[in-house]
Structure 1
């Protein structure tokens, strides 16, 4: 099971990434003015690299690019023509970091500066670093174009910064396509399709590898600028962030409140206090998240209730059955039967 980021009607992306996408499209032979007109964008909206563009507008741009560029995989073609510079402060911040681990940490902290069309996450083990991207609207065709462009760009940006850059694997949530040569050329590693997430998997040893363009004085100035820009963005709200993290934790078993608090850079006590200030609690959000996911699985799929219990982090199906009856007054089987009956 994968979690999805919070879908806000106010989601936006930076004007700088929109500029970068348009520049890449121009290099591939598309007319900039036609794309702007079709998306309802004006040049003055893009003149300030720190300005914001509604995510829905840029999503329309990706849709146009996916339909106007030739196959196979317009996203990979676009990603290979994206340049780090137009990404403004975050691109330079990543390149000037001391190590790849520092760059990834900065990417996680400041990802909203680039855009709010998805969530970047990092899973680390003794042998692997797994850089995961979970998009808004994963079902839309434009999303595949967008994610492949981003993944190709990340590889293009990281490779020159490390003497021994390599990928262990690249994961893709979509089914295996017929044309694999372009994937092999871009990622140069084993490919896995039909995966739970879109992800780039790197050796854990690269986390401590020094970056060729490390520049501590510049890094300090860029971080100050990035913090100021982050503070200007509308707050997502702690409740929304906790719900997103709970969804991710549930994919791996019983959620861990202490780990969630650490991810948010809070103590458990502060987490509880701030949730109370927003009229909620950790346990309430966990119960609500589990209930929403359980009802969705029972309505939309054919997974056995015992498997749904495991997906929701319950150690025993019986615990899930009792919780579900408490929430709805029905057993999982009764709930599914109710929603499978044709409407009269």
Structure 2
């Protein structure tokens, strides 16, 4: 179970409003869309209300079918407006620097929706803003994620004097026609990537935003905290998965330390996980497997380094575990994925 894979996942009504407005600008009839997904106008009256993610996903599916464009998501993203994204959109725009804006986006992302997880990876050269969608294999996901990535570029560009992307990465195969991608992202394009991501120069980390307004940001942050507190709490499984991911970066996870972080005894932790149909060891194995497969698909790290990142004391222990999970060695898994990606999309479109 992932951080967001829950039947109770929802999105902000303001996001649904923004998507519907964009669809109208592209010639679709709002009433017909609402009727098709079973949503009433009254459910969207409060911008801080919530809409079940399953309904929002059905809306994206319809838009992917009905918009006459090679990439409906890119077309939609060009018509999404920051305003309807309510408090988070204004909070990002009023932040003093890009790093503070990104920090706010990470903390308050659930206010916008729970259809994916936004992450940030940083090194000396780049900021990698990653979006890991719920249900990555569904047809609606491509439309949705492309719209979000397009919108993020349109929102960030006016806020920074020297905005540019180093690279844009996409989890789907390269399309035959890439002109819309090149025009929008204006950077190297990578398809069949391990994640959907926008990669920015590290020099932009501390760049000042043109619309910075610290007093307004403080007020908006207080409102965002109040809204966040009203959302249903994450399951214990989700919280454990998050902590395991953080601990794995520093070696073998420590169950006792994790339990203390959650203000639980180890016995209570085991019992409550069992009540949610899971266990500590199962979550550790699942987290390691997901991270291992992601690193191997990405192709940048040797298997021995991946073993260290996943907290294994010896690469051989990792190799045995990976073979148990998949029936393949890490090298065989990487070669198979590379062959599949090569058949699907041999070009990066840059």
Q: Distance in 2 between matches of 1:195 and 1:8?
A: 25
How far residue 288 of structure 1 moved from its aligned partner, in angstroms, is 1.8
How far residue 105 of structure 1 moved from its aligned partner, in angstroms, is 0.1
Q: 1:289 is matched with which residue: 283, 295, 304?
A: 283
Give 2:331's aligned residue.
none
Q: What is the TM-score with the length of structure 2 in the denominator?
A: 0.79
Give 2:324's aligned residue.
332
How far residue 83 of structure 1 moved from its aligned partner, in angstroms, is 0.0
Q: Distance in 2 between matches of 1:95 and 1:144?
A: 26
Q: Distance in 2 between matches of 1:272 and 1:52?
A: 27
How far residue 123 of structure 1 moved from its aligned partner, in angstroms, is 0.4
Give 1:190's aligned residue.
188
Give 2:269's aligned residue.
279
Q: 1:140 is matched with which residue: 131, 138, 148?
A: 138
1:193-243 deviation digits (Å, cap 9, x = unpaired): 111000000011111000000011111110010000000000103541331
Q: Which runs of 5+ in 2 are unaligned?
A: 292-296, 329-350
Give 1:76's aligned residue.
74
Preserved contact between residue 12 and residue 116 of structure 1 (Cα < 8 Å): yes
Q: Distance in 1 between matches of 2:209 and 2:289?
A: 47
Give 2:63's aligned residue.
65
For residues 239-318 of structure 1, the aligned pairs below 5 Å read 239-244=237-242, 246=244, 255=251, 270-271=260-261, 273-274=263-264, 276=266, 279-280=269-270, 287-292=281-286, 310=307, 314-318=312-316
Tell me the number of residue pairs that the alignment of Structure 1 and Structure 2 aligns: 311
CA RMSD of aligned residues (A): 3.4
Q: Which runs of 5+ in 1 are unaligned?
A: 259-266, 298-302, 325-330, 338-344
Q: Distance in 2 between matches of 1:74 and 1:277?
A: 50
How far residue 70 of structure 1 moved from its aligned partner, in angstroms, is 1.5
> CA 1:248/1:153 → structure 2, altered by over 3 Å: closer, same or farther?
farther
Preserved contact between residue 128 and residue 202 of structure 1 (Cα < 8 Å): yes
Q: Distance in 2 between matches of 1:296 and 1:98?
A: 35
> CA 1:150/1:295 → structure 2, altered by over 3 Å: closer, same or farther?
closer
Give 1:21's aligned residue.
19
SS at match of 1:273: coil
> CA 1:184/1:42 → structure 2, altered by over 3 Å: closer, same or farther?
same
How far residue 286 of structure 1 moved from its aligned partner, in angstroms, is 6.0
Q: What is the TM-score with the length of structure 1 in the denominator?
A: 0.81
Q: 1:167 is matched with which residue: 162, 165, 175?
A: 165
